[in-house]
Amino acid sequence: MNKKELKVNAIKDGTVIDHIPAKDLFKVIRILKLDKYNNQITFGTNLESKKLGYKAIIKISDKFFEDDEINKIALVASDANLNIIRDYQVIEKKTVTIPDQIIGIAKCFNPKCITNNEEIITKFTVVSKKDVSLKCHYCEKIMDKAQLIINQ
Amino acid sequence: MKNKSLVSINDYSTEEIMQILELAKYFEENTEQNLLAGKVIATLFYEPSTRTRLSFESAVQRLGGSIIGFSDSNSSSVTKGESLKDTIMTVANYSDLIVMRHPLDGSARYASEVSNVPIINAGDGANQHPTQTLLDLYSIKKTQGTLKNLNIFLVGDLKYGRTVHSLLLALMDFNPIFNFISHEKLKMPDEYKLLLDARKIKYYEHKEFTDIISEADIIYMTRTQRERFSDQLEYEKTKDTYVLRNAMLINTKPNMKILHPLPRVNEINIDVDDNNKAYYFTQALNGVYVRQAIITKILGLK
C-alpha cells in the first residue's frame, strides 16, 4: 500500500471511485445519492494528482454499482475509475462512459423550459460525449458542460 | 401519423410532410365537409393568438366538428394554480384531440406524454410552431409549383425567430439557396449555419436589402421586436433598414412571393399589400387548409 492511499482508510469489500476532479466531488455524491446510504463511506478531497491537479476519492464499503448507475458520474467525472475490492484486494478495475441518455440527474439551463416550472423528471440526449453537450428532450435546447447543474 | 402528436416539425418525415401538403390541396378544393361530425377538438391557448387559434377553429368548424377550450388562461383553472399535467389529463377526457399554445418551451412535448389523446403544438414558447412551418411550406409549394431548388430570402429577426429556424430545417431536403438579411445582432445562429455547411447548402449573409433580391423566389419577412435591442437608440436607427417597400420590388422575378407569418408591425410597408407579389394574407388563409389536413390525418379520417 503506498503513501497516497494511506490518507484514507482501506476497505475490505466495496468500491473505490478514484480520479474524481476535486471540485466535482459533491456533484458525484449527489448523482449517486450517497447521502441516502447507510454504508460506511469515506471521502477524500484535494489530494494531489498528476493527471487532474487535485483529485477526490470515494470509498464505499459493501457497495457494488451496476454500470447504468455508475456511468452517470461520467457527466462530471469522465476520468474517474473504479476499483472493485473483495477482501482488501482489487479484483476489477473499471472506467466510466457517458450514457446516451441522462434521466433525472441534471437540470435544464433554460429557465423557460417546462421542466423548471412543473414537477417533471428531466431527460436529455447526449449530443456530444466528448465535450459533454446535452439536448433537453422537452425544450430542445442544447447545453454544454459549463451550463450543467446537477439536481439537489 | 394516426394518433401521433405533432410537437416538432422533426416529428414528421419528408414523406409525411408531402402527404400533409397534398391533403391540404384537397381541402383547399373541398373546404366544407362533415368529416369531423361528432368530434370534439379542444383549443387551449395559454397565450394570445389571432391567426393560429382562429384558423384552427375555422378548420374544425368547416369540417363539422365542435370546439371547446379557452383563449385566455385567465378564464381557466390555471389561475387557481392547476398544473399543466392536470389540465391536460382533464381536457383529454372531454376531447378527441388537443391543440395547445403555451408560453413555456417544451410544454407541448410534455403534454403529449401525459395526454391520452393526440396533441397538436400551436406554439410552445420560443421552441416550436410546426403547423406554421407546414403552412409556410404549403404556401411556397403552391406559389412556386415545387419546393425544390428555390432561392429563399429570410429577413429580419433571424436569431430569435422560431419560424425561420423551423422553415430552414424543413427546406434543407429540397436543395435550396438561402440569403439571410439581418442586423448584426439578429444574425442566423451558428448552429444552423453549421447544419447548412454540413449539407453543402449555399447561403449568403447580408446586412441590408440590395439589388440581390432580384434573384429571390421567396422573400420571407419577420418582425423585429423592439425588446431584442438593449440599446433603444440602435433599434430606432436600424428599424427602417429592414422595411420592404413596393418600389424595391420592381426588378424582382415574376414568380416571387412575399411571405410573413404575421402579425406585421412596419417591416412590410402597406404600399406592398396591393402588389400581386404580396402573399401574406393568402398564406394565413392557407393555414386553414393545412390545419384541416393535419387534424384529419391525426384522427385517421384521411
Average pLDDT, chain B: 94
B246 pLDDT more than 80: yes
CB atoms near residue A14 (< 10 Å): 19
The residue-averaged pLDDT of B99-127 equals 96
- At B139 the pLDDT is 98
| B173 or B75, greater pLDDT | B173
Under the banding of pLDDT at 50, 70 and 90, the label for residue A4 is low
- At B231 the pLDDT is 82
- A139: chain B residues, CB-CB within 8 Å: 104-106, 124-125, 127
B2 pLDDT more than 90: no
- Tell me if A65 sits within 8 A of A16, measured CB to CB: no
DSSP state, residue B95: -
| A136 or B1, greater pLDDT | A136
Domain B9-128+287-298, CATH 3.40.50.1970 — does that match?
A: no
Chain A closest CA to B128's CA: distance in Å? Answer: 9
**What confidence tens digit (pLDDT) does each residue in A31-68 have?**
999 999 999 999 999 999 888 889 999 999 999 999 98
- At B79 the pLDDT is 79
CATH topology of domain A101-150: SH3 type barrels. (2.30.30)
- At A2 the pLDDT is 53
Q: Where are the beta strands (DSSP E) in chain B?
A: 40-45, 66-70, 97-102, 119-124, 151-155, 177-181, 203-206, 218-221, 257-259
Given an 8 Å threshold on Cβ–Cβ distance, is A139 in contact with B127? yes
- Domain ranges for chain A, please list them: 3-95, 101-150
- At B63 the pLDDT is 97
Given an 8 Å threshold on Cβ–Cβ distance, is B105 in contact with A110? yes
**What confidence tens digit (pLDDT) does each residue in B169-224 have?**
999 999 999 999 999 889 999 989 999 999 999 999 999 998 999 999 999 999 98
- At A36 the pLDDT is 92
Query: What is the three-class DSSP state of B274?
Result: coil
Interface of A with B (CB under 8 A): 108, 110, 112-115, 117-120, 136-142
**Domain at B131-284: CATH code:** 3.40.50.1370
Under the banding of pLDDT at 50, 70 and 90, the label for residue A3 is low
Chain B closest CA to A133's CA: distance in Å? Answer: 13
Interface of B with A (CB under 8 A): 8, 83-85, 102-107, 109-110, 124-128, 191
Q: Which of B85, B109, B126 sits opposite A112 (nearest CB)?
A: B126
Residue with cell 457494488: A64
Given an 8 Å threshold on Cβ–Cβ distance, is A119 in contact with B83? yes
- Between CA A126 and CA A59 the distance in angstroms is 28
**What confidence tens digit (pLDDT) does each residue in B120-162 have?**
999 999 899 999 999 999 999 999 999 999 999 999 999 988 8
DSSP readout, B26-87? HHHHS----TTTT-EEEEEESS--SHHHHHHHHHHHHTT-EEEEESSGGGSGGGGT--HHHH
Distances (CA, A) of A149 to A31, A58, B243: 11, 21, 42
Q: Which of A136, A140, A141 sits opposite B8 (nearest CB)?
A: A140
ipTM confidence: 0.88
- Between CA A126 and CA B223 the distance in angstroms is 34
Chain A residue with minimal CA distance to B8? A140
- At B35 the pLDDT is 96
- At A127 the pLDDT is 92
B228 pLDDT more than 80: no
The residue-averaged pLDDT of A134-141 equals 95
Average pLDDT, chain A: 90
- B126: chain A residues, CB-CB within 8 Å: 112
Chain A residue with minimal CA distance to B86? A118
Chain B closest CA to A149's CA: distance in Å? Answer: 18
- Between CA B87 and CA A2 the distance in angstroms is 62
Query: What is the three-class DSSP state of B180?
Result: strand
User: What is the model's pTM?
Assistant: 0.89
Residue with cell 427546406: B171
- Tell me if B203 sits within 8 A of B193, measured CB to CB: yes
**Domain at A3-95: CATH code:** 3.30.70.140
**What confidence tens digit (pLDDT) does each residue in A70-88 have?**
999 999 999 999 999 999 9
B291 pLDDT more than 80: yes
- At A150 the pLDDT is 87
A120 pLDDT more than 60: yes
- Domain ranges for chain B, please list them: 9-128+287-298, 131-284
Q: Which of B84, B105, B110 sits opposite A112 (nearest CB)?
A: B105
Q: Which of A113, A140, A142 sits opposite B104 (nearest CB)?
A: A113
- Between CA A58 and CA B24 the distance in angstroms is 61
